[in-house]
Amino acid sequence: MRKSGFVLCLLVASFCSLCALAGEEPEAPDAPASQDRFRLKAEIKVNVRNSAFEEVRVKFPFPPEMIPPGQDGVYERTTARGSSFELSNLALIGEADLTPDIAGLVRIHILDLYNRNPTSSDDRVSVREAWIRFGKRAESLEGSPGSNFYAIIGKAPRFSRQPLRRLESYGLWGTALGRFEQLQLQVGGSIGRNLYWRAHVANGNPLFMRDPNALAGDNGTPERAPGNIDPVYESGFPILYDAKASEVNLSGNVEGGAGLGFRWLREGSRDGADVMGWYFKRKLADEVPIRGSFYEGDLDLLKGAGIPLPFRGNDKEEYGINVEARAGGLHAFVQYVRQDIANLGRRGYETEVGYRFKLNGLVALGDTPVLYWIEPAFRYSTIDNRFRPPSNFVAPSMGWDWRKYDIGLRVGIVSGVDITAEYARHDMILLAKTLHPDEMLVTLRAGF
């Protein structure tokens, strides 16, 4: 752990030194974007991670060839216990403003360690976003001059997703819903200055499972095939979530969604509040292939290898409300969710609060100002399941109630370089006890 921390500090110093040697004054963190029509950017993330160890024996009747050699059974375990130093992602981003009313974006992730699922066998390179927008879209807490209309075509985020996370990790609902982009046609607009609407028709991302900590874990990987049990990572404690789309399949898998919102902004400032209600619905497919896993998504996952969850039908729907507010350096986001997955009900909420203190280059490294802002943040999220899985279900953690507390500190070092230190406290609530697979995560992010 000490060695990892030293390497991370060395990387921070190296980035700062490069900026100093370049002799360039960094932009303020909120400086306006470049006016170039085409822009190419890159982002790199390196991490120190420390994960507390927990395990729960699974009561599913696994045959002997599915039990790892030398063990007395199959366990759900912390994905990768202890400390690790990891290069988690390299992103290449292309942005284009073709005209004042036509824009596009392509975002390619390389490695993307913390989004791969299964972690060891999923694709190392993925196109996270690729879309073109016609018309102008006013974002959350961004004023609209009047009525307008826009359309987005391609792979883009769900409109209900939290616009900006203050921490690098995800909350429980940030993991479960809308974590990954969807192939979609999204339309929307503003009605006057305050009222706005959203709607989409999308390729529904497959329902699958992952641990809500940094690493998703390995489930159904080639190293877990019967008679060849030697996993690279443990399973983690997976919850149900919407995974990455692996293919375009619109037969019975089309998702429809709509939202209506109201925003208020104080005249002459960025302070204000934004409230949006939303609803999504689709049909679950009988089975959906998951790249890198012999498990399949949607209804096949709920069937649980012969001992199913108590599901009924194939409708998947969720509705909720987002509330976002900003006052000076204070920013808050709250999301409440109710979800029904083939009659398996879940509900809960997620709230995140952060405050940015501007330092305006508090110290200098050579001729370069360093330390532009510091932002403490806190997030609390809950999932309450309204169903009880069989005691011998193959992945019992899918039915556990859950509380997650995230506390962290983000520091803007120079323009485009920041570091985030955070700690996640978990309450996994089993019938007889509560477990705590807690995690510490430090992330150095540099954008160019």
SS3 292: coil
For CA atoms 19, 25, 30, 34, give the dihedral sign: negative
What is the total residue count of the chain? 448
For the chain, state the CA radius of gyration.
Answer: 22
Calculate the alpha carbon distances from 242 to 11, 25, 289, 362, 378 in Å: 34, 42, 13, 42, 24
Nearest-5° angle of CA 129, CA 422, CA 439? Answer: 95
Q: Which residues lie closer than 8 Å to 284 by C-beta, 6 or more apart?
A: 207, 298, 299, 314, 315, 316, 341, 342
Mean pLDDT, range 275-296, rounded to an integer: 95
User: Using CA atoms, how far apart are residues 171 and 383, in angstroms rounded to an integer?
Assistant: 10
User: Using CA atoms, how far apart are residues 179 and 298, in angstroms rounded to an integer?
Assistant: 17
- Token readout for 87 is 């290069």
Is 360's pLDDT higher than 90? Answer: no
Residue numbers of the domain that contains 359 = 2-447
- pLDDT higher for 53 or 138? 53
- pLDDT higher for 221 or 364? 221
pTM: 0.90
Q: pLDDT tens digits, residue range 140-181?
A: 888 888 899 999 999 999 999 999 999 999 999 999 999 999
DSSP code at position 311: -
What does 393-418 look like in DSSP terms, one character per residue? -S-GGGG-EEEEEEEEEEEEEETTEE
Q: Which amino acid is at 320?
A: G
Q: Report the CATH number at residue 225.
A: 2.40.160.10
Is 282's pLDDT higher than 70? Answer: yes
Count of beta carbons in the 10 Å neighbourhood of residue 162 = 21
DSSP code at position 306: G
Mean pLDDT, range 23-33, rounded to an integer: 39
Average pLDDT value for the chain: 90
User: Using CA atoms, how far apart are residues 132 and 184, in angstroms rounded to an integer?
Assistant: 11
Q: Which residues lie closer than 8 Å to 267 by C-beta, 6 or more apart?
A: none
Could you tell me if 221 and 118 are in contact, meaning their C-beta atoms sit under 8 angstroms apart?
yes
Q: What is the CA 360 to chain-centroid distance, rounded?
A: 30
Write down the pLDDT at residue 367: 67
- Token readout for 147 is 């009525």
Q: pLDDT tens digits, residue range 378-435?
A: 999 999 999 999 999 999 999 999 999 999 999 999 989 999 999 999 999 999 999 9
Report the domain count for the chain: 1
Write down the pLDDT at residue 369: 81
Is 29's pLDDT higher than 70? Answer: no
Instruction: List, in sequence order, every beta strand (DSSP E) within 70-229.
Output: 75-77, 82-99, 102-110, 125-134, 148-156, 182-191, 195-203, 207-210
Q: Which residues pair with 421 in a beta bridge?
A: 409, 442
User: Using CA atoms, how far apart are residues 218 and 216, in angstroms rounded to an integer?
Assistant: 7
